[in-house]
Amino acid sequence: MIENREHALDIDDRREHGDVASQTPIDLDLVLRPQPSAAAGVPAVAHSLEYALSQAGPVRTAQTFLAVNQRNGFDCPSCAWADPEGKRALVEFCENGAKALADAATTKRVGVEFFDRHSVAELSRQSDQWLNAQGRLVDPMLLKPGAAHYEPISWDAAFALVAKELNALDNPDQAVFYTSGKASNEAAFLYQLFARLHGTNNLPDCSNMCHESSGAAIKESVGGRKGTVTLHDLEHADCILVIGQNPGTNHPRMLTSLQTAKRNGATIVAVNPLPEVGLMRFKHPQEAAGLLGRGVKLTDHFVQVRINGDAALFKGILKALFVREAAAAGTIFDWEFIREHTSGFDALAADVATADWAAIEEQSGIDRARIDALAGVIANAKSVVACWAMGLTQQKNSVAVIRELINILLLGGNIGRPGAGLFPVRGHSNVQGDRTMGVWGRMDDAFLDRLGTEFAFTPPRQHGYDVVEAIGAMAEGRVGVFISLGGNFLSATPDTELVARGLRATNLTVCISTKLNRGHLVTGRSALILPCLTRVESDVQESGPQFVTVENTISVVSRSRGELKPAAPTLKSEPAIVAGTAAATLRGRHPLAWNELIADYDCIRGHVSRVVPGFADFNARIRLDDIFYAPVWAKQRIFDTPNRKAQLTVNVLPNTPITAGQYVMMTIRTHDQFNTVIYGSDDRYRGVTGGRRVIFMNPDDMRAAGLHERQLVDITSHFAGEHRTVRQFAVVPYDIPSRSTATYYPETNPLVPLGSTADISNTPTSKYVVITLQPSEGA
């Protein structure tokens, strides 16, 4: 039975800034500096070492730095960038990877004594940075109803409590199993199996908030849901489009591949509202020229579109390509590919012919001559790779925008041949692997049939909640138990006040975690913190040392084996925690020997090999060469669509006018954070030091609004008659298109309406929020 009641504690969910996601302090001494001329170089090395040594010390730093992303080592717990297939550098990580490694290897500990000293209310008043900096969680902890402090609990008692709450639900769909992209393939497979044996497909994951739009667009256009390129393709492309993406901060190792591509003769086009340093010039920290010189110029053409101007830009490029083809028939389009492998050409041609240049220029912010020149770059390229990230996926029309981009590549035959293809650049290190392993509420019937056959049960078929649907269900009191395998659900999701109310309406929240975060402080009636091993630590089970596997952004599956001594003997691995909880919950309901799966992870991979397509002989293949490619049929021009052809689609330009006094806001990361994990309060690449509560604005917009640099403003979002406000953000002048603004998350996640989502994918529109500004009281 679900009890729809608030947590007995008032954990200050309407703080002085009205923001439960973050207690980032306001710093009136905020320092603004000029942007650096290039990414990486000496500063990146210095910052990496400074942070790592402060957290892990010299010995543990050396151990982790020399093993990360190496064969027989462990996969970086930061982003999902691909490792080189051949020879690897001695140092195969980036600045933010170094911070993530130091975070995992820190010598600081958060145990029973820490929670004795600090109440939940006290902790809730600390910043996200402070919470993360306290160290590794090492003891299972329980927050009882009405209690002020977490208290210790044994592992068996914790598993029994989760089992009791799950088994007391009126129906299995009152449970939600959330997953972060950092979970290993083995943990993810067991997790989705546990949820489905329990009887639900409620498996929301962080994909729902990032590349769900990419998967939906790719599925419709070419089949499958993954990118179609290898690292070799990227580095040998003739033209690379980098769209809605900031690789210098979000996946810095991509800069090395872009540098290689430049040296191989590639033309790089960057499309983005902000002129990010990492798009412009790169100083490779392992080259003398990178340490001492000016570095390598990356971008040949920077296209500064308005927020969500990509749809119009792509429509304009298509229109210009059709004009060029008409003037020189047979020289622009790949007609052999179009005739043999695509359908929908005539409808696309008719749509492009009626597109209005005035609307294209207005919505994109780019004039016709510039668009035509870009079309020329693409038309003259022998091969084109299109890379993109959240700038495209978190819009109302995201799926349509990505389909339009795919149209451009299809017309040139740039899918399924060397040096060309689609490259949605994933964030979390195993977010793609989680989905491959079945973490999704809408897995196809064939997968569920194989899963049911393998484990002798009938999996549920009703589609489960995604992130947005899960939040809505919790807020309505329809969820009794919320379990999170990694991540920080509260701070990662939109509409933070509503999320907090939803979490507090549950009976039990369970967080399988490595570090303290705000999600441990806004809880259900009861709450559990279950601390787990990280990838940098050795995982020894009954049969001996274990390894896990991950899948990176180009579908390469690789081994990961930690080397450091665990932070505490009390820690369990993610697979062991999932199995222990499942065994307690399903005892008497299903005979699976969960303890045998944990004794030897080969047993888990044996099941995977019979359930997941492309993973036959998993154990043998992963040992043979440490890596293999998960299948992506579009690479071979095998298109898994209803008519077995790639689909050229018709996509309507959006109609999203904003009124006088309104702006469009997108949320972004600082260079000192990875997703919701905040390492520091600086953003070196944007010239911001000592503060995060800022809003970047066009200087002309500032003058027109009567605002000055560092002035504090309150930001209000507007959606469907609803208003949400966060207070006291410092205005920072920046090179950004007029009426476009940018802010950091999670500080402005409370402004993102839960109801504002992308068509088809239901991804929150964190890159398109309509706002107004008001000087803060007393500012």
Q: Tens of pLDDT along 334-359?
A: 999 999 999 999 999 999 999 999 99
Q: Would you say residue 724 has pLDDT above 70?
A: yes
Rounded mean pLDDT of 506-520?
97
Of the pLDDT bands very low, low, confident and very high (cuts 50, 70, 90), residue 5 is very low
What does the pLDDT look like over 666-712, one tens digit per residue?
999 999 998 899 998 899 999 999 999 999 999 999 999 999 999 99
Q: Check residue 50 and give its pLDDT.
A: 77
What does the pLDDT look like over 271-308, one tens digit per residue?
999 999 888 888 777 665 656 667 889 999 999 999 99
Q: Would you say residue 759 has pLDDT above 60?
A: yes
Q: Check residue 444 and give its pLDDT.
A: 96
For residues 551 and 549, what is the distance between their CA atoms, to the nearest angstrom? Answer: 7
Q: Check residue 173 and give its pLDDT.
A: 98
Q: How many CA atoms lie within 13 A of 713 on its CB side?
A: 24
Of the pLDDT bands very low, low, confident and very high (cuts 50, 70, 90), residue 13 is very low
The residue type at 384? V
For residues 291 and 465, what is the distance between their CA atoms, to the nearest angstrom? Answer: 49
Q: Is the omega angle on the peptide bond into residue 418 within 30 degrees of 0, that is, cis?
A: no
For residues 213 and 131, what is the distance between their CA atoms, to the nearest angstrom? Answer: 32
Comparing CA positions, the residue from 587, 566, 498, 516 lying closest to residue 198 is: 587
Strands 384-388 and 239-243: parallel
Q: Check residue 64 and give its pLDDT.
A: 78
Please enumerate in sequence order all residues whose Cβ is within 8 A of that of 141, keeping only pairs 6 or more positions apart, or say none: 112, 115, 150, 151, 152, 153, 528, 529
What does the pLDDT look like over 635-656, one tens digit per residue?
999 999 999 999 999 999 998 8
Q: What is the mean pLDDT of the chain?
A: 92
Residues of the chain with pLDDT > 70: what percent? 94
What does the pLDDT look like over 614-634, one tens digit per residue?
999 999 999 987 789 999 999
Range in 62-71, 282-291, 465-474, 688-697 with the lowest mean pLDDT: 282-291
Q: Check residue 139 and give its pLDDT.
A: 98
Tokens of 496: 């933070």
Q: Check residue 7 and give its pLDDT.
A: 29
For residues 502 and 726, what is the distance between their CA atoms, to the nearest angstrom? Answer: 20
Q: Would you say residue 71 has pLDDT above 80?
A: no
Rounded mean pLDDT of 121-135?
95
Q: Check residue 655 and give its pLDDT.
A: 82
Domains of the chain, first to last:
31-38+656-775 (2.40.40.20), 108-206+433-628 (3.40.50.740), 212-424 (3.40.228.10)
Residues of the chain with pLDDT > 90: what percent? 79
